[in-house]
Amino acid sequence: YQTCCVHLSRTIAHKVRVSDRAEICEDFKSVYRAESLEMGQQALHSFIEKWKSKYPKVTKPLLNNPYLFTFYRFPKSIWRSIYSTNLIESFNKQIKKYSKRKEQFPNEESLERFLVSQFDQYNQRFATRCHIGFDQARAELQMMFKTN
């Protein structure tokens, strides 16, 4: 399983019956949308108890996933950005879109130059913008990642 909660939700949806899909995904949302780590762990326990007999291959890996609750270590204002990975997915989609136009690259260096130019354009475009919640969490994040 992947470590981001939205990806886990999609994986779960693909491994269950269509008739159970909406309910199981809604139940899993309670795990990563809980107000605290403790409430999230409690929601996971309830989720597993409810679904383990019907879908053991879905619930068992969740118990052994050490990264499932990682986002709770960060400021609450950025939890959604961490568990959704929308920023990364949108940038990956953009790179795929532009690289398909090129169809092929003559060598690996030309592909590397193309990617670096895409990264540079992205960084310039978003250099002055702050993603939702990160501005509120700036001081706390600086303290968390302060190097001595």
66 and 22 fall within a common domain: yes
57 and 94 fall within a common domain: no
pTM tops 0.85, yes or no: no
Could you count the other beta carbons within 10 Å of the beta carbon of residue 129?
A: 8
Domain membership flag for residue 80? no
Interval 17-71: pLDDT, tens: 999 999 999 999 999 999 999 999 999 999 999 999 999 999 998 988 888 888 8
104 and 47 fall within a common domain: no
Q: For the chain, how many structural domains are there in total?
A: 2
CB 95 within 8 A of CB 89: no
The radius of gyration of the chain from alpha carbons, rounded to an integer in Å, stands at 19
Domain enclosing residue 126, as ranges: 86-144
What is the enclosing helix (H) or strand (E) of 135?
Answer: helix 134-144
113 and 61 fall within a common domain: no
Domain membership flag for residue 81? no
Domain membership flag for residue 96? yes
Tell me, rounded to whole angstroms, the distance of Cα 19 from its chain centroid. 26
Out of 73, 108, 133, pick the residue that ends a domain: 73
Domain membership flag for residue 58? yes
97 and 69 fall within a common domain: no
Interval 76-124: pLDDT, tens: 888 887 777 677 778 888 888 877 776 678 888 988 898 899 889 888 8
